A and B are shown apart, each in its own frame.
Chain A
Amino acid sequence: MKSIRRDEVRRLLTEGAQLVEVLPREEYEEEHIAGAINIPLKELNRQTALQLDRSRPVVVYCHDYQ
């Protein structure tokens, strides 16, 4: 998976990318990047990934690189 920086995220979003926060739901509900959906890492599987459009870029993130 390619790691990208903030400016690249912003560019991809203008091109229709889907943002996915992989942190637990409580953390997502507390605060997330505008427009992101939540698929907690522990729940990420073929079934939960069905809500994503395979034809568009997907950007996953958590809190930070730590």
Chain B
Amino acid sequence: MGFEQVYEYADGKRDWGSFGLPREGRLAEQPSAGDLARAGVPTCLLTDDLSEVRRRVRESGWDTCIVVNDHRVVLGRLGRKAIGSDNGESVEEAMTEGPSTVRPSIGLDALLERMQSKNLSSWLVTTPDGKFVGLVLRSEAESRLTSS
């Protein structure tokens, strides 16, 4: 048809949405995990001193910390219990490895259903390559869906 520069984005819109990039349409107007993901959750490295991490987390007002590597890929999570105790463990020993994650494009209603069925108060959001996006709080998801 005479076009000189034609490209194919083979991974398509599934890939685009899973990285939380801008979308339009009926589904895109509905709230998604990416909309509510709190990016300000404390993070730490495996090599960080756990006592220092605990101090930092408490000061931030959170009760959890996401363990990431140098590329912000999620490795694990320090939960309330790990943050609350102080028994000389390392970050690696104290963390829960490989927490379940969802992509930013998943519908908030679907995510809330998962949190409710597993009785969890929050859920991690990452890109498909595992990079930390944020944490969705169940209470905020419930409020958002109730008000919409």
A4 touches B7 (CB 8 A): yes
A63 in contact with B5 given A31-B28, A33-B22 (CB within 8 Å): no
A58 in contact with B7 given A30-B25, A49-B1 (CB within 8 Å): yes
Interface of A is mostly: mixed
A31 in contact with B27 given A61-B13, A64-B14 (CB within 8 Å): yes
A64 in contact with B22 given A49-B1, A54-B4, A58-B5 (CB within 8 Å): no
Q: Which chain A positions have C-beta within 8 A of B3?
A: 49, 52, 54, 58
B25 touches A32 (CB 8 A): yes
We find that the number of chain B residues with CB closer than 8 angstroms to chain A is 26
**Bound form: Cα–Cα A17–B8 in Å:** 12
Interface residues of B (CB under 8 A from A): 1-17, 19, 21-28
Interface residues of A (CB under 8 A from B): 1-6, 8-10, 12, 17, 19, 21, 28-36, 46, 49, 52, 54, 56-65
What would be 23 A-B contacts, judged by CB atoms less than 8 Å apart? A1-B8, A6-B15, A9-B7, A9-B9, A17-B7, A21-B13, A30-B25, A30-B27, A31-B26, A32-B13, A32-B25, A33-B23, A35-B22, A57-B7, A58-B5, A58-B6, A59-B9, A60-B9, A61-B10, A63-B12, A63-B14, A64-B10, A64-B13
